[in-house]
Amino acid sequence: MKANEDQSGPNRKTLMWYLYLISMVLLAFTGFGQMPIYKRYYISDIPGLAWSADFYTTHLIHYIFSALFLGIAAYVVFDHLLLKKKRFALTLSGFIRSAIIAGLVATGLLLVIYNFSGVAFPMWAAATLLVAHMTLAMALIAAGFIALIGRKPWVRAIN
Amino acid sequence: MSHQISRRLFLKGGLAAAGTLAASSIPAAASITDGTGHLATLLDISKCIACGACVEACSETNQSKYPEPEKPFPKMVPSRAKNVDWSEKRDVDDRLTPYNWLYIQSTYVEHNGEEHEVNIPRRCMHCTNPPCVKLCPFGAAEQLKNGIALINDNLCLGGAKCKTVCPWKIPERQSGLGIYLDILPKFAGNGVMYKCDRCYDRIAQGEQPACIEACPEDVQTIGPRDDIIRQAHALAKEMNGYIYGEKENGGTNTIYVSPVPFDKLNKAIEKGKGKPHLKPVKDHMADGNNLAAALAIAPIAGIAAAVGKFYKMTK
């Protein structure tokens, strides 16, 4: 290994990891907030969370953290391909989470396109996309918790 | 068994998942609805005499679409969510309800030293980029290629987000029917939302919306949006009048032309629940859509950062 080679393992709690966590938490919160539940279930009554009942605000925050998340994802994937692929490989848990994230990105981007003026999807297509996006989000949360509890890392070192 | 996944498998799996979704028939089924495809209506409110023929025709034509709720309604949990029942007040016609998708706002306004009696048929504006459709979390609303914004009563849960995001608060809820009764009736949803569907079924058969056909004064005209906008400007010029609906919320498919400025009308009309305003409305979808550029730039920045690190490390 060269002296100047990146020594950090992708499982370390780096700045990227914290940004990923923050973006995931806010994406999940604002994503579920697209359903009319926060006002009904008093979440928006919690001091400091009144904004959570404003669908346009949660929509904007969802977009902002989607951009942050896409930036992180692109960085992590290319960092892996360029620098770490010879030393680290995805675990099964990492593979499942990556596949779910790929699905979330694909459905999310299609929903962004759907929101543009002049674009119309048939009802079945919009409903399918929205349900798929929500289901994948729940699957990612579940996979994240399973990984946390079972201490399943994203990658493992190649011997 | 090894839990290691090769990069090839990772990329194959990830891309397959993304590809399956992205390459599905959804984008292929998408359509461009801007401009030429949209049908808009022009309402010359100087002609409206508030005879109510349009309201009556709307009600008669859409009877079969009106809600028939099951009673008693589920007890809502938490109690903040209230059942909404219009089924015993089907005859209310001085506001929008699930049983009255069109009503007439009447007022007297002084303008240029003259008093005007103004009557304004009010219903869904059918926005060119309708937030009720685009922001429904379950995809229960659809914008047809001809621009009509339509709520599917078989899919709507009655959460009323469409009403919350509508700049005019048009859709109205009826509890006691719909898909929510089959899911978690006490805890999620609360009925079905109803509003004008601009007689999409009649239009599909080459007929006019009932309100337009029934009007004895020819208040409304329907046609391709570009033509309607041109007609609206010509009419406004002719009567030295004012236009509402062309730019509101980024543009709607309901264009009002009035001899009285709309800010005066807005002050004069009765507003409130089921009684929409006539204020200027900014494009509610624009802020989010403007941010979409960040979604394109962010991955490029991420890739640039990774490539920059790679060159730094390999120097």
ipTM: 0.88
Does a structural domain hold residue B105?
yes
For chain A, say whether B22 makes contact (Cβ under 8 Å): yes
- For residue B119, give the nearest of B214, B54, B195, B62 by alpha carbon: B54
Does a structural domain hold residue B309?
no
Does a structural domain hold residue B1?
no
What is residue B9's predicted lDDT score, i.e. its pLDDT?
Answer: 42
What is residue B17's predicted lDDT score, i.e. its pLDDT?
Answer: 45
For chain B, say whether A105 makes contact (Cβ under 8 Å): yes
Is the Cβ pair A78, B5 closer than 8 Å? no
Instruction: Walk along chain A (159 residues) and give the pLDDT tens digit of each residue.
Output: 444 444 445 556 778 888 989 999 999 999 999 999 999 999 999 999 999 999 999 999 999 999 999 999 999 999 999 988 888 888 999 999 999 999 999 999 999 999 999 999 999 999 999 999 999 999 999 999 999 999 888 888 887
Contact B34, B194 (CB under 8 A): no
Is the Cβ pair B4, A37 closer than 8 Å? no
What is residue B19's predicted lDDT score, i.e. its pLDDT?
Answer: 41
Does a structural domain hold residue B177?
yes
Distance of CA B263 to the CA centre of its chain: 22
What is the identity of the amino acid at A53? A
What is residue B21's predicted lDDT score, i.e. its pLDDT?
Answer: 46
Residues of B in contact with A63 (CB under 8 A): 288, 291-292, 294-295
What is residue B234's predicted lDDT score, i.e. its pLDDT?
Answer: 98
Q: Alpha-carbon torsion B206, B210, B213, B219, what sign?
A: negative
Does a structural domain hold residue B210?
yes
Does a structural domain hold residue B45?
yes
State pLDDT tens for residues B226-273. Answer: 999 999 999 999 999 999 999 999 999 999 999 999 999 999 999 999
Give the model's confidence band at B282: pLDDT under 50 very low, under 70 low, under 90 confident, else very high.
very high
Please name the residues between 160 and 199 in chain B that touch chain A, using a CB distance below 8 Å. 160-161, 164-165, 188
The CB-side HSE value for B258 (13 A sphere, CA atoms) comes to 25
For chain A, say whether B292 makes contact (Cβ under 8 Å): yes
3-state secondary structure labels for all residues of chain A:
CCCCCCCCCCCCCCHHHHHHHHHHHHHHHHHHCCCCCCCCCCHHHCCCCHHHHCHHHHHHHHHHHHHHHHHHHHHHHHHHHHHHCCCEEEEHHHHHHHHHHHHHHHHHHHHHHHCCCCEECCHHHHHHHHHHHHHHHHHHHHHHHHHHHCCCCCEEECC
Give the model's confidence band at B25: pLDDT under 50 very low, under 70 low, under 90 confident, else very high.
low
State pLDDT tens for residues A135-146. Answer: 999 999 999 999
Does a structural domain hold residue B15?
no
Give the distance from residue A113's alpha carbon to the nearest chain B alpha carbon, in angstroms.
Answer: 9
Q: Kind and range of the H or E element at B149?
A: strand B149-151
What is residue A6's predicted lDDT score, i.e. its pLDDT?
Answer: 46
What residues make up the domain containing B142? Answer: 38-299
For chain B, say whether A56 makes contact (Cβ under 8 Å): yes
Total domains present in chain B: 1
State pLDDT tens for residues B291-313. Answer: 999 999 999 999 999 999 989 98
Distance of CA A126 to the CA centre of its chain: 20
What CATH number is given to the structural domain containing B271?
A: 3.30.70.20
What is residue B139's predicted lDDT score, i.e. its pLDDT?
Answer: 94
- For residue B257, give the nearest of B118, B127, B145 by alpha carbon: B118
